[in-house]
Amino acid sequence: MKNLQQAVVETKLSNYIQVSTAVHSAVLGSSYPPSAGAFRDDVAGIMTNIVKFLHSNNAPLPINVYPYFAYASDPGHISLDYALFRSKKPVVIDGNLKYYNLFDAMVDAFAAAMEKAIGTEDIKIVVSETGWPSAGNEPHTTKKNAQTYNKNLNHRIKYQGGTPRRPDLNLETYIFALFNENRKVAGVEQNFGLFYPNLTRTYPLWYS
């Protein structure tokens, strides 16, 4: 990353290109409650260096946020409504912060970990991947659940602003994925797409 950044600067492209790297929630050793977010001990040094590098270059940390996997691993304690943005009351109360959906809680756990790593809140975040599989682990993976997640995600990003910890955050977010990946190992990993490989829709992106 440092070498890439140097090349970008030397070619006078730093106003147009930002060097970064995406990370998965597996780098977190603690994420509940969100304010307890911290990087795993075995990757803390690497992640601290990455966050320092990004902060010094005013670049964001792209994070992959998948409420589906958290929910599917513990459906007895994590409600589907919390994972699908449908909860009408706070599910997690963390100090004076209230969490109505798992997506926000996961983003804020990353934010807390980054703040602890370098001692400042002035760090940008981008959600580089998020989505819900439409098949592969029924009953948790259905077309209706996938459609509901992406529809409610769109509404949350468009109308609700930042997260409880970062209320002023303009949370740039990308849905994974455009196509189902039929060459992956059978299961949920094949089924995040909005389209099948033959270009037919897996489900309407938004409710009609």
**184 given a catalytic annotation:** yes
DSSP state letter for 162: S
**143 given a catalytic annotation:** no
Q: Rg of the chain's alpha carbons, rounded to an integer?
A: 18
Q: How far apart are CA 142 and CA 154, in angstroms?
A: 18
Q: Which of 206, 66, 54, 42 is nearest to 131 (CA)?
A: 66
Q: Are strands 23-24 and 38-39 parallel, antiparallel or unpaired?
A: unpaired
Strand partners, 201: 195
Q: How far apart are CA 65 and CA 179, in angstroms?
A: 18
Q: Which of 16, 156, 186 is nearest to 84 (CA)?
A: 156
**172 given a catalytic annotation:** no
Residue of 52, 116, 129, 151 with catalytic role: 129
**129 given a catalytic annotation:** yes
The CA-CA-CA angle for residues 29, 32, 37, to 5°, reads 50
Sheet of 61-64: strands edge to edge?
A: 23-24, 61-64, 125-130, 173-175
Catalytic sites, residue numbers: 129, 181, 184, 189
